[in-house]
Chain A
């Protein structure tokens, strides 16, 4: 392994994916296509406590409890209590399905500092359509209670072609609820979303309008709500840095203990994923090939290797490079300088065609066990 100065990086963020189980079926879910048959290989409470302690030792300060749906875990409250005592700032990232007012009060006492609730649409119908469950009113009620309890509320709205036009409506709802943060996150086309790309990818005109609508809202409402608009990178000239730089800031631990530099890294075939059951988090963060393999710029191929911009975007997303070109070392095809950039153009054209051909709309592939089986065969 080349020297990548591995020891000065601090994983500020630990994302604890407590379980893949989830009552929703979002067609853009970033979880792996293969859903585990049962939950029996999930990390135990003791194992999570150890992971959290080790992450704190490495300097992690932000902790996100996520999934799947983290509320499915019975030990969530216990984990929050422990994490808060260890000095973590605890964020809960949830769909709110399974959340109750009692649980919110318990979590508050346990030390949760921020709750983020995801919405799949800005009204009852689209929310149900894209999440595969009817939950709109419940989500709103829970959001209100989070505010009542004095817990900072964040709302997350996952955007795609079929709900982008709802941005203003959604922002209005967020403001009415009293949210402090809103994340308008365009779907990134990994995992489940890649399979639904033709049906989900917006046109550039649609995106521009959505961004303009966001800015109009910001101008008209000078409140305290912070709004973040995350554009999908298909329409950019340069790719995004992966998770602020592979192995520099984020560490994700999956329900069964695999340690990843980014949430979707498992889509890359041929990599070995270190597991907390075999080694300490310190050891993995500092020495695992998975982390050192793509840290910095030493691993790059052309055109990245001799590109003057390589420190800026670090060659883009490894998952995207692999999914679209079959080579994890390739330049992210989103980059105009990539020899495979035509793949992005093709995807945009295919999505456009799908949009025009209303009469032969291909159904969305929802994330559920029967579709997971279909994809496997």
Chain B
């Protein structure tokens, strides 16, 4: 398990994140399955397509949504969940 705040991670390279016209939303595709993503999830995951860490993701989002008060906690919660489902994985250095 990597440390979400400080360790480098990125979107699982074996998964695909893309917009689907037919479903009118973004989906995350993984072996034999998929999940429809909320706009919040998309905003977070699109920041993970290249190596990053939790602090940077939160800082970036705060610049875009300066008024969202609970943002850091929400993002952390989402990333913990994403880590447990292997949506995001550690980047080896």
Cα distance, A182 to B32, chains bound together (Å)? 12
Which of A89, A154, A180 has the largest count of B CB atoms less than 10 A from its CB?
A89
The verdict on A306 contacting chain B, using a C-beta distance below 8 Å, is no
Per-position 1/0 for B1-36, Cβ under 8 A of A: 000000000000111101011110001011111100
Flag if A12 contacts B34 (CB, 8 Å): yes
Stretch among A58-66, A161-169, A338-346, A366-374 lining the B interface: A58-66
CB pair B20 A61 closer than 8 Å: yes
The answer to whether B20 touches A91, judged by C-beta atoms less than 8 angstroms apart, is: no
Contact B20 A89 (CB under 8 A): no
Whether A197 is near chain B, meaning CB under 8 Å from some CB there, is: no
- In the assembled complex, how far is the CB of residue A177 from the closest CB belonging to chain B, in whole angstroms? 16
The yes or no answer to A326 lying at the interface (CB within 8 A) is no
Q: Are the C-beta atoms of A61 and B14 separated by less than 8 Å?
A: no
A303 in the interface (beta carbon within 8 A): no
Q: Which of B16, B21, B27, B86 contacts A224 (CB 8 A)?
A: B86
C-alpha gap A113/B15 in the complex (Å)? 7
**Contact present for A150 and B23 (CB under 8 Å):** no
A114 located at the interface, meaning its Cβ lies under 8 Å from any Cβ of chain B in the complex: yes
Query: Is A151 positioned at the interface, with any CB of B under 8 Å from its CB?
Result: yes
Cβ of B27 and Cβ of A61 under 8 Å apart?
yes
Inter-chain CA distance A61–B20, complex, in Å, is: 9
Chain B residues, Cβ within 8 Å of A145: none
Q: Report the bound CA distance from A12 to B22 in whole Å.
A: 10
Of B13, B15, B29, which contacts A62 at CB under 8 A? B29
Q: A10-B23, A59-B23 are in contact. Are A152 and B18 (CB under 8 A)?
A: no
Cβ-neighbour of B31 out of A10, A87, A91, A224 (below 8 A): A91
In this complex, how many residues of chain A approach chain B with their Cβ under 8 Å: the count is 20
Cα-based distance from A246 to B15 in the complex (angstroms):
28
Whether A59 touches B22, Cβ cut-off 8 Å, given contacts A89-B29, A151-B14, is yes
Closest B residue to A228 by CB, please name it. B32
Report Cα–Cα, A152/B89, bound state, in Å. Answer: 13
A235 interface residue (CB < 8 Å to B): no
Interface readout for A84-121 with B: 1 if CB under 8 Å, 0 if not? 00010101000000000000000000000110100000
Question: Using Cβ atoms and an 8 Å threshold, which residues of chain B touch A151?
Answer: 14
C-alpha gap A114/B14 in the complex (Å)? 8
Task: Write out, one digit per residue, whether chain B residues 71-90 have a CB within 8 A of any chain A CB (1) or not (0).
Answer: 00000000000000010000
A113-B14, A114-B14, A151-B14 in contact; A89/B22 too (CB < 8 A)?
no
24 contacts between A and B (CB under 8 A): A10-B23, A58-B22, A59-B21, A61-B20, A61-B27, A62-B32, A62-B33, A62-B34, A87-B16, A87-B18, A89-B34, A91-B31, A113-B14, A113-B15, A113-B31, A114-B14, A114-B30, A114-B31, A116-B32, A152-B30, A152-B31, A154-B31, A180-B31, A224-B86
Residues of A within 8 A of B (CB): 10, 12, 58-59, 61-62, 64, 87, 89, 91, 113-114, 116, 150-152, 154, 180-181, 224
* Residues of B that sit less than 8 Å from A by CB: 13-16, 18, 20-23, 27, 29-34, 86
Q: Which 8 A-B pairs have the closest CB atoms?
A: A59-B22, A114-B31, A89-B29, A152-B31, A10-B22, A152-B14, A89-B16, A113-B14
